[in-house]
Structure 1
């Protein structure tokens, strides 16, 4: 009897602690457009009743441009625009973190490296390409 009471209490506690979701009756898609063309290009956009919106257009597998927006739990409107292409995914938004600026000394160093290619000693380069038989003799002996 004690085990049954313990298990029943645990089940009730878990059910009470579970997140409470709003009813799906309160959420609805207010608009939805989708167009897929024979040349592989496409476009879609949608909006929901709770403030979520998204749109994208592009050419399948090659490039995409779009954006989305939603309201954060604190009520702030989050908006993101993006481009996705051969160079990767490039999001932009006021809420996204931005790295620190590159220090001036590093910029100068990079410019120096760019304008002064590395010099490789011809004799040192030959040593790596064609080792002399004199260097191989102890290893063969």
Structure 2
């Protein structure tokens, strides 16, 4: 009886430690220019991301990179989580239904 319990525990531990199958890229596109870029990709596990960036003139001899994009993924709970964001001179500003909002 003791051997069966030990075997069952070891089997469970091995199953939980097994690596998840790797996702494959099913779509990929990108374009890089001197003053802007954009890219998007999608993987076989449902992950998607797109982003575009460009230089923004903040004043004489002062440029900043302005980035906007989105990504989504399927969580361990089976729910799809989506984020849209802007990153500029004001910092990273994400938005998503599951992100708590400040009062």
TM-score by length of structure 1 reads 0.54
Q: Determine the C-alpha separation between the residues in 1 that align with 2:21 and 2:38.
A: 30
**Structure 1 stretches of at least 4 aligned residues deviating more than 3 Å after TM superposition:** 15-18
SS state of the match for residue 16, structure 1? helix
Q: Alpha-carbon deviation of 1:59?
A: 1.8
**Which runs of 5 or more residues in structure 1 are unaligned?**
1-11, 101-141
**CA deviation digits over 1:32-89, x for unaligned, max 9?**
001101x220000000000000000012651000000001111111000000000101
Match among 50, 54, 72 for residue 75 of structure 2: 72
Q: Alpha-carbon deviation of 1:17?
A: 7.7
Structure 1 partner of 2:50? 55
**CA deviation digits over 1:84-124, x for unaligned, max 9?**
00010110100001123xxxxxxxxxxxxxxxxxxxxxxxx
Cα gap change, 1:23/1:73 in structure 2, threshold over 3 Å: closer, same or farther? closer
Between structures 1 and 2, the one with greater helix share: 1
1:20 aligns with 2:18: yes
1:92 aligns with 2:86: no
Match among 6, 28, 31 for residue 27 of structure 2: 31
Equivalent pairs counted in the alignment come to: 85
Cα gap change, 1:23/1:94 in structure 2, threshold over 3 Å: closer, same or farther? closer
TM-score by length of structure 2 reads 0.72
Q: Report which stretch shifted further, 85-94 or 59-68.
A: 59-68
Q: Output the aligned Cα RMSD.
A: 2.1
Q: Determine the C-alpha separation between the residues in 2 that align with 1:75 and 1:18.
A: 18
